[in-house]
Chains A and B, each alone.
Chain A
Amino acid sequence: GAVVSQHPSWVICKSGTSVKIECRSLDFQATTMFWYRQFPKQSLMLMATSNEGSKATYEQGVEKDKFLINHASLTLSTLTVTSAHPEDSSFYICSASKGVNEKLFFGSGTQLSVL
Chain B
Amino acid sequence: GENVEQHPSTLSVQEGDSAVIKCTYSDSASNYFPWYKQELGKRPQLIIDIRSNVGEKKDQRIAVTLNKTAKHFSLHITETQPEDSAVYFCAARANNLFFGTGTRLTVIP
Contact = CB atoms under 8 A, between A and B. Distances in A.
Q: Do A and B come from one complex?
A: yes
Interface of A: 34, 36, 41-46, 49, 59-60, 91, 93, 95, 101, 103-109, 111
Interface of B: 1, 31-32, 34, 41-46, 49, 89, 96-102
Contacts, number: 45
A106 B44 contact: yes
Nearest to A106: B43
A109 B96 contact: no
27 contacts: A36-B99, A43-B99, A43-B101, A44-B44, A45-B99, A46-B97, A46-B98, A49-B96, A59-B1, A91-B41, A93-B43, A93-B44, A95-B97, A101-B31, A101-B32, A103-B46, A103-B49, A104-B34, A104-B46, A104-B97, A105-B46, A106-B43, A106-B44, A107-B43, A108-B42, A108-B43, A109-B42
A109 B97 CA distance: 17
Contacts of A109: 41-43
Contacts of B102: 41-43
Contact of B100 (A36, A43, A95, A111): A43
B44 A42 contact: no
Given A104-B34, A109-B41, A44 B99 contact: yes
Contacts of A103: 34, 46, 49
B97 A34 contact: yes
Given A34-B96, A105-B46, A109-B41, 14 more contacts: A34-B97, A36-B99, A43-B101, A44-B44, A46-B96, A49-B96, A93-B44, A103-B46, A104-B97, A106-B45, A107-B43, A108-B42, A108-B43, A111-B41
